[in-house]
Each structure stands twice: as C-alpha cells, then as structure tokens.
Amino acid sequence: MTRRLIIRPEAEAEMGDAFDWYEERFSGLGSEFLMCLDAVFSAIVRSPQQFPLVHRVVRRALTRRFPYEVLFVENKERIVVLSVFHAKRNPKRWQERV
C-alpha cells in the first residue's frame, strides 16, 4: 500500500520562494530545484523510515544539490511534509509547526 504524500501549505510556500530565488539567479535553476525535491519526495514515499528522527516524530531528508531539508511526519495512511527548509535557517521556525 502506497501512502499518500501531503505537502502542507507552509511547505508549498517555502518551495515557491526557493524556486523564485533560484530562477532569479539562473534561468532553469528553479526547475532543477523542484526536480531535486521530487526525487526526495519519491525516496520518502518509498522508505520513510530510512530518514533520521530529528525532533520527536519528525524525520528529515536532505536534498543532494541544494542546501534544503524536507521535514516530515508519517503514519500508516499518509506522509505529511511540514517544511522544505533551508539548512542555514533557525530550526525553531519549523519546530513551531509540529
């Protein structure tokens, strides 16, 4: 059974902001960022428990090319992406969402 992947609105906004920032720097780089996130989302859906717990029940998956973390929680029916978070930001910002 495949679990449903749900991306919370806050995480979608972070993805959009990062896309815009990368696109302003170099045309096409924002699309590469989204493809990188898609690969991370696929890995999370395939095997969420391979990623470490970083705060209570929150797990973290790192992107390969970009300095971003995908923070998510899981249960039997779904995986919820809480944040697509730049690695240099203060982690207390995403912890407020738990």
User: What is the predicted pLDDT for the residue at 87?
Assistant: 83
Name the band, by pLDDT with cuts 50, 70 and 90, for residue 9: very high
Name the band, by pLDDT with cuts 50, 70 and 90, for residue 41: very high
User: How far is the C-alpha of 57 from the C-alpha of 66, rounded, in Å?
Assistant: 24
Can you name the CATH fold of 4-95? Answer: YaeB-like fold (3.30.2310)
Tell me if the pTM is above 0.75. yes
| Each residue's pLDDT tens digit, 51-81 | 999 988 999 999 999 999 999 999 999 999 9
User: How far is the C-alpha of 71 from the C-alpha of 93, rounded, in Å?
Assistant: 12
